[in-house]
Amino acid sequence: MQMQIFRRGVLGLIALGLTVSMLAIFGCGGSDDDGETQRTANLRGSNERPTPLPNVTGSGTVVLTINDDQTEIQYVLTYTGLNNVTQAHIHAGSADVAGPVVLFYCTNIGGAPAGAVGGQACPQGSSVTVSGTLKAQDLIPRAATATTPEASTFNQVIDLLLNGTTYSNVHTQTNPGGEIRAQNLP
């Protein structure tokens, strides 16, 4: 009789231990990104629109991290093989259009909102990295056009980023309309 009570007690403790362990494992969600979402772009001249630039030797990457409450976009832009970079930014638009600028990464010719993070200078060099955090005050609001969606609020730009309807573009003195470009995609 005492042996049965002992066994039941041990089995009960084992079941309780397994239950607590499983709750701890499944309660963690298996992720450490705190709800952040990333978008990336591999910038090439052949992605430029309306006229692709297949002979451009420069290239670049952008990593965009949207925070969990969708109030900030952290960015890391890296470009190589470009001379006389004038500006780099996010445009609203699909892969086949030249859309309006909505957020600046950097500029050497102005155009970013006063005090905007993206108002920092675009560095020059053979391999360059620019980083920062974009917020609502950095936005250049844009109305919808026949070929581009509305981007008049930061939330709309976040939605466009999540839907793949934005692209990153780096401009140079040689190619003021853009030298390397790519859609911001998952």
User: What is residue 111's predicted lDDT score, i.e. its pLDDT?
Assistant: 85
Residue 112, pLDDT score = 84
pLDDT in tens, the chain (186 residues): 565 555 554 444 454 444 444 444 444 444 445 689 999 999 999 999 999 998 999 999 999 999 999 999 999 999 999 999 999 999 999 999 999 999 999 999 988 887 777 789 999 999 999 999 999 999 999 999 999 999 999 999 999 999 999 999 999 999 999 999 999 999
Across the beta sheet with 127-134, the strand order is 37-43, 59-66, 73-80, 127-134
pLDDT of amino acid 127 = 95
pLDDT for 176 equals 95
Cα–Cα nearest to 76, from 40, 124, 37, 120 = 40
For the range 143-146, what are the long-range contacts, defined as Cβ-Cβ under 8 Å and sequence gap of 24 or more?
145/100
